[in-house]
Amino acid sequence: MFEEVKKFLVQSNQINPDLVMPETAITDLGISSLDLFKMVLDFEEKFNISISDRELSNIHVVDDLVKLAEK
Amino acid sequence: MLEQVAYRIGRGIARIILRTHNIHAEKLPEINGNFIVIANHSNLYDPAVLMTACKKTAYFVVGEDLYRKRNIRFIERLYRPIFICQGGDNSLAAMREIYSRINNGENIMMFPEGHYSYNTRTEELSPSTAGFIKMLGCTLVTYRIEGGYYNYPYWASTFRNGPMNGSVSGVYSSEQLSLMSDDELNELIRNDLYTDADVYQEQTGYLYPGIRLAEGLENVLSICPVCGNYNSIYAHGDIIECRTCGRSTRYTSKGILARNTDNEGFPFDRVSKWQTFIEDKIQGDLKCNSLPEIKYENVTLFRILPDHIRENICCGSLTVTAKEMHICKKHFSFDDIKTSIVLYRGSTLLFTSSDGYFGISSDRLSARLIETIIKGGGVYGKYRKDY
């Protein structure tokens, strides 16, 4: 699942794939709050999940997205 | 339906408040479709100004600290505000709620600065503001509130009785917004919301009389510009004085620092100029590694848990250095602090570190001083610039 999330992050935000590790902070990827918000909407659609407010508040590192995708 | 009735009642109360406090609010024009109103934020009357201006039911975006105030919890049930974590490291939940409400045809009112004006001027907004507003696809109303800083400055412990004026700066349809680049829209919003309370007071000559006008300034003017000592300023009544060098000055109803007859006073006639000196002094001390260790007693450290619950961790002595602060054996490196905000008359600092969402608070805390050190000493700017 990590690879899938990584591919999604790289494609949707044009990020250097080498930077994307499970422990990488989202803010360190150079993603603004707006980009992150758009990404979350796309993420919910792509992985067919619904992310709660509490889960949204807990998105800090790439691995948090992986766990959400695995739900 | 209940929300519409509650909004009308609230609006009625807001209009009474404005009438009795010499505050004027220009009404919004008729707008087809739903809209978002954004305004600069100067004091706690601002929501009443927007409610008076806006006849249609609209929902506020408010700081999540309001959720913990039991006496105004009824607002949550009646008005369904959108809570946003001030000093929290992401605002995704609030953004999604705003997006969802606009898509449901509701109207939103918000103060994108996120806090009252610190230094008389409208602060820089997040570069993401324009992109987010365009994404909403509704009409944008920009609204400027002037005179609020001097009516009730964020550091003050008392209200002043002076005029405030709210006016519509612009109304922009979603079609107009879509034709603008993000930079153009950010610039337009910046100009529409910009106000400088010092310039406004000088131009209008308005007076803001009241009692104990200077009290609270000690939390803001934390360095003496004459002797350079940290936390030596003391305010009582209308007077501010330095306990170390003995210089003093009087804060007048014009918001001016007037020289006392018995000493030379301080070299600034406005609080904002003194604040600029403090920022420069801290930058200089950080650069020269000469920032002194700063201590505060009886400081409460707390954590904000999910669902807005506050958990007090300890009360004790806080020590702040150029690189970190520690309280009750807990260390916070400034490199690890991503976002922060100063609240409650400059006596509370909320911040997010990798350990969570925390706050420190004390009546005598210069939270703005600590925040300035964090910004200058840590990597705060790296997170802040595009957030």
The Cα–Cα gap between B372 and B368 comes to: 6
Provide the pLDDT for residue B123: 87
pLDDT at B385 over 60: no
Nearest to A32 among B88, B97, B386 (CB): B386
CA B42 to chain A, closest CA, distance in angstroms equals: 25
Q: pTM surpassing 0.95?
A: no
pLDDT at B383 over 60: no
Average pLDDT along chain B: 90
B327-350 tens-digit pLDDT: 988 999 998 888 888 988 889 999
Provide the pLDDT for residue B88: 62
With CB atoms and an 8 Å threshold, state whether A34 touches B132: yes
Q: Choose from B95, B100, B126 for mutation: most chain A CBs within 10 A.
A: B95
Provide the pLDDT for residue B386: 35
DSSP B360-372: EE-TT--HHHHHH
Nearest to A59 among B90, B97, B126 (CB): B90
- Residue B232 DSSP one-character state: -
pLDDT at B384 over 50: no
- Is the distance from CB of A9 to CB of A59 less than 8 angstroms? no
- Residue B364 DSSP one-character state: T
CA distances from B360 to B70, B170, B278, B315, B337 (A): 20, 39, 21, 9, 13
